[in-house]
Amino acid sequence: MSRLQVLTSAIAVASLSSVAASGLTSDSSPVYGVKLPDGYRDWRVITVAHEAGKNNDIRAVLGNDIAIKAFRDGTRPFPDGTIIARLAYVYESSAENDKVFPAPQSFVAGKPTNVQISIKDSKKYANTGGWGYGQFENGVANPSEPLIKTCFACHAKLDASKDFVFSHYSP
């Protein structure tokens, strides 16, 4: 190994261990250290939403068992352990489906865009109303700190009775 190689591998090891020391890895969000929860794709539906404009997506909002129970019972604030996953997809018209209709009318989920996670831990995330946030693309945490800081800033615009959650349960 050349001196340069030794130096670069030493730097690589040093930066890896500082990442490990901070508890943040590429599979967890900056600031909050939120990971994509195991099995979230099998969770039950809270509601669906569509955003036009720049997002132009269609989204499913899913919750773990604690979240579903809290939504159904109307429990606010949400209990610790609540996790809500918001899965967004490109909103696109379906030529395939439209063939069976008299006029174009069918819109469906295209490619996934991102998954956003809100997780309640009132002690760990005391500074942000008890909520930690993460955004993931293709299973990888988005590393942007400015992006992750927009989450609570916007959700905090809701009044306290909502506990920083926009979605309503759709029966």
Which residues would be at the binding site for ligand HEC (CB under 6 A)? 49, 51, 59, 61, 84, 86, 116-118, 133-135, 147-148, 150-151, 154-155, 165-167
Q: How far apart are CA 156 and CA 171, in angstroms?
A: 26
Give the shortest CB-28-to-ligand HEC separation in angstroms: 13
Q: How far apart are CA 123 and CA 26, in angstroms?
A: 24
Nearest to 51 by CA among 104, 114, 94, 98: 114
Look at residue 1 and give its three-state secondary structure. Answer: coil
Give the shortest CB-43-to-ligand HEC separation in angstroms: 12
Give the shortest CB-12-to-ligand HEC separation in angstroms: 29
For ligand HEC, the closer CB: 98 or 149: 149
Give the shortest CB-13-to-ligand HEC separation in angstroms: 31
For ligand HEC, the closer CB: 61 or 70: 61
For ligand HEC, the closer CB: 98 or 142: 142
Q: What is the DSSP letter of 36?
A: P
Q: How far apart are CA 61 and CA 40, in angstroms?
A: 11
